[in-house]
Amino acid sequence: MNTFELEKKMQPFMNDYYESQGKTFDRSQACKRFDVIVNGSKVEEKYLLSEKYSCFLVEIVQQAKPPKLDWGWFYHCEADYLAWIHCRQKQPIEVLFIEYKILQDHIFSMFEKNKWIQVNLCPINYGLTINIPVQWNSIKHTSHKFEKAGNE
């Protein structure tokens, strides 16, 4: 299952989550800059087919392979919040919310403080992406675990 198929499969679960929290949501204006408007705030959703780890990867370059360089969502995002949604095959198991401005400031402070930064390269899905690991305990976030998360 590729990233786009995972997103399409998991969005109804997130719709149910927003409703269960008494929030209004609108996906009709979704674009490359955000995925959904929740209670008037723009949210960029990132779906991951994995458990929650001690860090998460922020894609700072979406396509590094010539001839097409694409900086990707980190630079083009206009969301107020990012939602990292960890999924199993059947449904989400946890969602973590981060204010986008806080994440952006955190990433740029990492660039300023460190002479060398570890990156992770990923050659699958969109193209050759460059990702920076960020420790969950280094950034303010909120989380919600899904009670009926399937085992698959």
Instruction: Tell me the CATH number at 93.
Output: 3.40.1350
The answer to whether residue 151 is domain-embedded is: no
Question: Do the domain assignments include residue 28?
Answer: yes
pLDDT tens digits, one per residue of 13-40: 999 999 999 999 999 998 889 999 999 9
Per-residue confidence (pLDDT) for residue 88, from 0 to 100: 83
Q: Evaluate whether residue 49 is within a structural domain.
A: yes
Residue 43 domain-assigned (yes or no)? yes
b/e for 12-42, b at 16 or more Cβ within 10 A?
ebbeebbeeeeeeeeeeebeeebbbbbeeeb
Contact 73, 60 (CB under 8 A): no
Helices (H), 1-152: 3-20, 73-76, 100-113
Asked if 48 contacts 9 with a C-beta cutoff of 8 angstroms, the reply is no
Q: CA 94, CA 84: separation in Å to the nearest integer?
A: 8
- 152 belongs to a structural domain: no
Residue 42 lies in a domain: yes
Q: What is the pLDDT of residues 98-152, one digit of tens each?
A: 999 999 999 999 888 887 888 888 887 777 889 999 999 999 999 988 876 444 4
Tell whether 112 is covered by a domain. Answer: yes
Is position 122 within any domain? yes
Domain of residue 37 covers: 3-145
Please give the tally of structural domains in the chain: 1
> What is the CA 118 to chain-centroid distance, rounded?
19
